[in-house]
Amino acid sequence: MPDTPRRRVLVTGAAGYIAGINLPALRQRYDLTLVDLRATRRDGTAVDGVVEYDLAADAQGGYHPSDRLRQLFRGVVTVFHCAYVHSDWTTLDGYATERGNVDLAYLVYRLAYEEGVRRVVVASSNHAADWYEGPLRDGRLDVLSPESPPYSANWYGWGKVAYEQMGFVFAAGALGRPLDVVQLRIGAPRTLEAARYRDNSVGYRRDLGAWISDRDFQQLLVKSIEAPDIKNEFGVPFQIFYGISNNTRAFWSIRNARRAIGYAPQDDSEVTYADDIRRLLVGADQRGRLNDLSGS
Ligand SMILES: NC(=O)c1ccc[n+]([C@@H]2O[C@H](COP(=O)([O-])OP(=O)(O)OC[C@H]3O[C@@H](n4cnc5c(N)ncnc54)[C@H](O)[C@@H]3O)[C@@H](O)[C@H]2O)c1
């Protein structure tokens, strides 16, 4: 990727998993402001340079950012929003937690808007449209594009839809200046350990389609940050990209990311996991189990 002048990028949820995948690439390229509740990862290792700050305190019951937080947003060109509180997605109570996440997103968009930030890139999720996975599995749908109306049957997905749409309100420009907004519907950003899928060949096939390698994720994020113009076909600076590699088994479209920002993923789960696929799937029965690994 060509060298670019260093810009200031603020990362929320900077001690989290998604930020952790991307921090090496971001540290190389940008001056960073890292914000999180805590300065350590889940495994207890320290993350350099994190400002410990509870964003929820400024979002609860309305919008009241402290001067300290406002200061952190000053001079920032792009925000990468990853702060997130995990919810119990499928119970009625999941709503309250996800509503808190939506309030957090509002705080971030509005502060960015008020403090002259040019672009907000949001760690969204494929779950914004996870309802379609049934039709995708049983052949009623071949491939899902980010332009399809988003539907989810759980609060996690609902929360992602809510803050994707909220981002559109800020991007549309009716509030004043349009804010550039990119939503990354991240797929499966992890090593696919075959042993975890022993009785779940459907899940294994799914994750082979949903997988994104670290270097492809970093490329997608950097291009989302740096693309000079992210206007959609109607002139609104708003994009939703699926975050997956160049997977042979892909069932979400990344055509718009290729076109709008030149995303050119280098990896394909079919190649990376070729040995596992041969051992586990070729000749597997139809009962959902993978081939027996014992003795192989
Ligand atoms: N991990 C995945 O596989 C995956 C896949 C798709 C999408 N995503 C999305 O990416 C985003 C980040 O997920 P993650 O896996 O990194 O989660 P994570 O829990 O590892 O990280 C979230 C971070 O946000 C911080 N945080 C929470 N509340 C905060 C607050 N009030 N103020 C400041 N910081 C706060 C947490 O301390 C944590 O470090 C989420 O929106 C998630 O839905 C993740």
Each residue of 63-115: pLDDT tens digit? 999 999 999 999 999 999 999 999 998 899 999 999 999 999 999 999 999 99
Regarding pTM above 0.85, the answer is yes
Is the CB of residue 17 below 6 angstroms from any atom belonging to ligand 1?
A: yes
**Phi and psi dihedrals of 57, rounded to 5?**
-60, -30
By most ligand atoms within 8 Å of CB, the mutation choice from 12, 17, 101 for ligand 1 is 17
By most ligand atoms within 8 Å of CB, the mutation choice from 82, 121, 190, 212 for ligand 1 is 82
Expressed in angstroms and rounded, the spacing between residue 148 Cα and the centre of ligand 1 is 25
Type of residue at 208: L
Domain parsing of the chain, residue ranges = 8-193+212-265
CATH architecture of the domain with residue range 8-193+212-265: 3-Layer(aba) Sandwich (3.40)
Is the CB of residue 186 below 6 angstroms from any atom belonging to ligand 1?
A: yes
Is the CB of residue 37 below 6 angstroms from any atom belonging to ligand 1?
A: yes
Which tens digit of pLDDT belongs to each residue from 175-195?
999 999 999 999 999 999 998
Expressed in angstroms and rounded, the spacing between residue 37 Cα and the centre of ligand 1 is 11
Closest CA to 272 of 187, 208, 217: 208
Place of tokens 């702060």: 83
Residue 11, Cβ density class (10 Å: 0-12 exposed, 13-18 middle, ≥19 buried): buried
- H-type alpha helices, 56-154: 56-59, 67-73, 94-114, 133-137
Band the pLDDT of 223: cuts 50, 70, 90: very high
Question: If you take atom 8 of ligand 1, which residue's CA is the nearest one?
Answer: 125
Question: If you take atom 39 of ligand 1, which residue's CA is the nearest one?
Answer: 16
Is the CB of residue 265 below 6 angstroms from any atom belonging to ligand 1?
A: no
Question: If you take atom 15 of ligand 1, which residue's CA is the nearest one?
Answer: 17
pLDDT of residue 279: 86
